[in-house]
């Protein structure tokens, strides 16, 4: 099991806890995700952060940006300026029996959570046990 946390965020991944092996959280919320949900979330956040990094040099100091990405089952929004940003994420499903959740990490917790989630997904699952 891997567990990491910082100011305003926390992440845990334990592949032995099925089906909800990943926990993400903020100061006042937490939600458990399946490996597939968490993998899709990590990919979506990675793309949002990469897009922000690509545009960062084009933003003036006082300029703000909003980037949205919709990739089933997640919708994500990165909002901020060239130095700091927040993340709002919504998990939804076409299946009426599935759950949905909305989460929010403010700056600077969003950047720390995104970096940790990205690195957590670089670790092969067999090394987590």
pTM for this predicted structure: 0.89
Which pLDDT does position 89 carry in this prediction? 98
Domains of the chain: total: 1
Which pLDDT does position 19 carry in this prediction? 92
Which pLDDT does position 124 carry in this prediction? 54
Which pLDDT does position 129 carry in this prediction? 47
Which pLDDT does position 34 carry in this prediction? 93
CA distance linking residue 119 with residue 50, whole number of Å: 14
CB 20 within 8 A of CB 33: yes
Provide the residue range defining the domain that includes 86: 2-127
- What is the DSSP secondary-structure string of 42-87? HHHHHHHHHHHHHHHTTS-TT--EEEEEEETTEEEEEEE-SS-EEE
Which pLDDT does position 128 carry in this prediction? 46
CA distance linking residue 14 with residue 2, whole number of Å: 7
CA distance linking residue 19 with residue 116, whole number of Å: 21
Which pLDDT does position 123 carry in this prediction? 57
Which pLDDT does position 113 carry in this prediction? 96
CA distance linking residue 12 with residue 23, whole number of Å: 5
What's the CATH code of the domain at 83? 2.30.31.10
List CB contacts of 27: < 8 A, sequence separation 6 or more: 8, 109
First vs last Cα of the chain: how many Å apart? 6
CB 103 within 8 A of CB 24: yes
Which pLDDT does position 15 carry in this prediction? 87
Low-confidence ranges of the chain (pLDDT < 50): 125, 128-129
């Amino acid at each position: 099991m891997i567990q990491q946390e910082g100011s305003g965020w926390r992440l845990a991944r334990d592949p032995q806890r099925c089906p909800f092996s990943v926990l993400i959280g903020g100061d006042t919320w937490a939600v458990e995700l399946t490996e597939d949900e968490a993998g899709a979330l990590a990919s979506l956040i990675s793309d949002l952060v990469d897009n922000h990094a690509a545009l960062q040099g084009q933003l003036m100091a006082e300029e703000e940006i909003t980037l949205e990405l919709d990739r089933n089952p997640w919708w994500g929004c990165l909002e901020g300026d060239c130095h700091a940003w927040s993340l709002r994420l919504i998990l939804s499903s076409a299946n009426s029996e599935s759950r949905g959740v909305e989460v929010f990490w403010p700056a600077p917790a969003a950047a720390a959570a995104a970096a940790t989630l990205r690195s957590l997904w670089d670790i092969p699952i067999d090394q987590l046990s």
